[in-house]
Amino acid sequence: MPDPGMIVKSRTAGRGRIARNDPDDPTVRASIEMIDVLALPKTELHLHIEGTLEPELMFALATRHGIALPYADVDAARRAYVFDDLQSFLDLYYAGCSVLRDAEDFYDLTRAYFDRAAADGVRHTEIFFDPQTHTDRGVPFAALMDGLTSGLGDGGQALGMTSRLIMCFLRHLSADAAMVTLEASLPFRDSIVAVGLDSSEAGHPPSKFTAVFDRARAEGFLAVAHAGEEGPPEYIREAVDRLGVARIDHGVRILEDPDLVERFVAEQIPLTVCPLSNVKLRVVPTLADHPLKRMLEAGLRVTINSDDPAYFGGYIGENYAASVAALGLSDDQVLTLARNSVLASFLDTRDQQRHLAAIDEFDAS
Ligand SMILES: [Zn+2]
């Protein structure tokens, strides 16, 4: 992969552009002006708050609660973040969540993510959380919501960011357990914009949760679902047809089904793609093999996101920068990705227009 670290400062580049060495001829310094992907105003739509738990905070919370972790230190924890597939990641991920016990922990977790996201140019973020990972360990639903909503409120105010919460059901657990979780969430209905579906995909098709999603939509929640990451394109179709989702999380296997691609292009159903996650969990062998660019070229409303950045080696800015370097995305394609995320968000039209104008202004600068 060309080295994105070759970016250098230029006195001639505008605010939205930085100069970069020519990857084909490193002796030609600062010959290419390209979009400053870190400064580009961004919207993030696929981010699990539990997946932002950096080892440093994991150790701090373990100390706070007197919990022994299975790692000697922060570096040992980071070295353990090597995965064979989605399941091997999930095993480690759920173990890490054991340090999240009370509202203060969720508040600290959320504030830490906001700091990282703001540094990467995120202006709006729609955050997944998995209540069952916590309520099944005895954490009260109210403590979880208190910590998350306080963190979102204070973080947003301090950094000028807006946010929404999306409650995900763990698909490896039963549909009945998801229904119990949905009912437990109803007192907090106003703090949650949508329901989602995550965890182990293989063998857990979206149709397993049809009744839960019917009920959720009747209660006024919007819907999204992970589909077509490891599972087949048929799961993507099911998520749209059976669960009534407004967008698909991942969906990278859609290219295996030309009819489905045609439909997604015609209806502009968004896909929240997470490039570094797909490499780390071996959905694709390398970033250069990633279908992101082909999805863009097919006219799909594709977006870039970070998924579980503490575990997958990069927040959204790194996902943009690494994708640009590995796939040779043009400036227009980068701007399209940023605009797609705004259009795919659950913001109302007026707020979407404000975010699109910020991208236009950035492009013109
Ligand atoms: Zn995800």
pLDDT tens digit sequence for 314-358: 999 999 999 999 999 999 999 999 999 999 999 999 999 999 999
Q: Where in the chain is the domain with CATH 3.20.20.140?
A: 37-340
Which class is 37-340 in CATH?
alpha beta
pLDDT of residue 12: 40
Whole-angstrom CA distances from 320 to 41, 281, 286, 315, 346 are 12, 18, 15, 9, 21
User: What is the amino acid identity at position 275?
Assistant: P
Question: 172 CA distance to ligand 1 centroid (A)?
Answer: 14
Q: Which of residues 360 and 5 earns the better pLDDT score?
A: 360
Average pLDDT rounded to a whole number, residues 154-167: 97
Positive/negative CA dihedral, 54, 57, 61, 63:
positive
Average pLDDT rounded to a whole number, residues 175-202: 96
Exposure letters 121-132 (e unless 16+ CB within 10 A, then b): bbbbbbbbbbbb
Number of CB atoms found within 10 A of residue 64's CB: 14
Question: Given 229, 230, 238, 318, which residue is catalytic?
Answer: 229
Question: 178 CA distance to ligand 1 centroid (A)?
Answer: 17
User: What's this model's pTM, rounded to 2 decimal places?
Assistant: 0.91
Rounded to 5°, the CA angle 114-120-126 comes to: 50
243-266 pLDDT tens trace:
999 999 999 999 999 999 999 999
pLDDT of residue 1: 41
Q: How confident is the model at residue 23 (pLDDT cuts 50, 70, 90)?
A: low
- Pairing type for strands 17-20 and 32-35 reads antiparallel
229 tagged catalytic: yes
pLDDT of residue 81: 85
Percent of the chain with pLDDT over 90: 81
Question: 302 CA distance to ligand 1 centroid (A)?
Answer: 15
pLDDT of residue 10: 39
- Asked if residues 139 and 167 have their Cβ atoms less than 8 Å apart, the reply is no
Q: How confident is the model at residue 22 (pLDDT cuts 50, 70, 90)?
A: low
pLDDT of residue 82: 83
Burial of 91: CB neighbours in 10 Å, binned 0-12, 13-18, 19+: exposed
Question: 13 CA distance to ligand 1 centroid (A)?
Answer: 36
